[in-house]
Amino acid sequence: MSGEDHDGQTGLSLALKQRAYQEGFDPVGIARLPGSERLQLRTAALQRWLERGFGADMTWMATERRRNPALLLEGTTSLLAVGLNYHVADQQKPGSLKIARYGWGRDYHRVIDQRLRRIGRWLSEQRPDCRWRACVDSAPLLDKAWAEEAGLGWIGKHSNVINSQRGSWMLIGHLLTTEPLVADAPARSLCGRCSACIDACPTTAIREPFVVDSNRCLAYHTIENRESQLPEAIRSALGPWIAGCDICQDVCPWNHRNLPVSEEPELQPKAWMLDLKRDDLLQWDDATWDERLRGSALRRIKPWMWRRNATAAEPDQAPTL
């Protein structure tokens, strides 16, 4: 690439990131394929994770496209990685059943995808010959590893991406492109010797740093498990969690800082999610479920699963005076 061409790509890369900021994303970063040596190590770690059976019955995790973004978009050379802060001011009320924060607002897949597509259309205006593809975590992409590669943050021992200024309350998306962009430096891990997330997991699902066994994970069982009854080990450890689990993020020291609060209207919680009682949930019929979960990422949890989870859960206790 000539100096003039490089300057042009540098300018485009900076403008592309600025366009992402305008869509409400922060942080943003760029990575180049095939990625650094650490990205290759993350890819190999996925294969070991699958071989150990830690993916449970999530067979889609084994697709070859997850290991090679070029299979998602022919000619891919670069990707834009974006983070969307979902740390809101609201808290769930004591005595309520708990829902993971990422599911409080509108379906983040739709929110991120729509914004990435607007960025992609902007890129096409700048470079009419380039091609692009928007990806959220439903796409077969090692999204966390590529976010780390693009400098958004490092993968913590709980397997979530942590940003030093925003903690781990961050939704991730990527825009693959054939345009050769200028890469940012990969993020450096700052977990150190901390084991707070490992120690706090009630089912020891974090088998070792960075390795989560889905077979033991409350989030997996409340969202993905389609059996009529939860395993006894999960039932006994469920506590108030009925849709996902935030324990490993709640205890992370990087989330105990003065984090920026999102005021994005699409990410604000529905009122019922903050004060959900077991008796109310057990009375849900399909129409109630349809009304309450319309446009929600938690629609993946079917009505009978909500009732199954609520039956096993123990509502969070209100503090004593």
Q: What is the pLDDT of residues 171-188, one digit of tens each?
A: 999 999 999 999 999 999
Per-residue pLDDT, 190: 96
- DSSP, collapsed to helix, strand or coil, labels residue 137 as coil
Work out the pLDDT band at 153, boundaries 50, 70, 90. very high
Residue 16 main-chain phi, psi, to 5 deg: -65, -45
Which are the catalytic amino acids? Answer: 137
Beta bridge partners of 171: 84
Integer angstrom CA distances of residue 188 from 8, 47, 155, 252? 28, 23, 9, 17
Residue 172 main-chain phi, psi, to 5 deg: -125, 145
Mean pLDDT confidence for 146-172: 96
Mean pLDDT confidence for 134-139: 88
What is the distance between the alpha carbons of residues 196 and 248, in angstroms, rounded to a whole number? 8
What is the distance between the alpha carbons of residues 128 and 124, in angstroms, rounded to a whole number? 5
Work out the pLDDT band at 319, boundaries 50, 70, 90. very low
For the chain, the C-alpha Rg in angstroms (whole number) is 20
Per-residue pLDDT, 321: 34
User: Which range among 29-43, 192-206, 242-256 shows the weakest confidence by mean pLDDT?
Assistant: 29-43
Per-residue pLDDT, 69: 85
What is the distance between the alpha carbons of residues 35 and 214, in angstroms, rounded to a whole number? 27
Per-residue pLDDT, 3: 52
What is the distance between the alpha carbons of residues 300 and 297, in angstroms, rounded to a whole number? 7
Q: What is the pLDDT of residues 52-111, one digit of tens each?
A: 777 777 665 656 666 688 889 999 999 999 999 999 999 999 999 999 999 999 999 999
Per-residue pLDDT, 59: 67
Per-residue pLDDT, 239: 96
Q: Which two structure tokens, joined as six digits, stand for 110? A: 């739709």
Task: Look up the pTM and report it.
Answer: 0.91
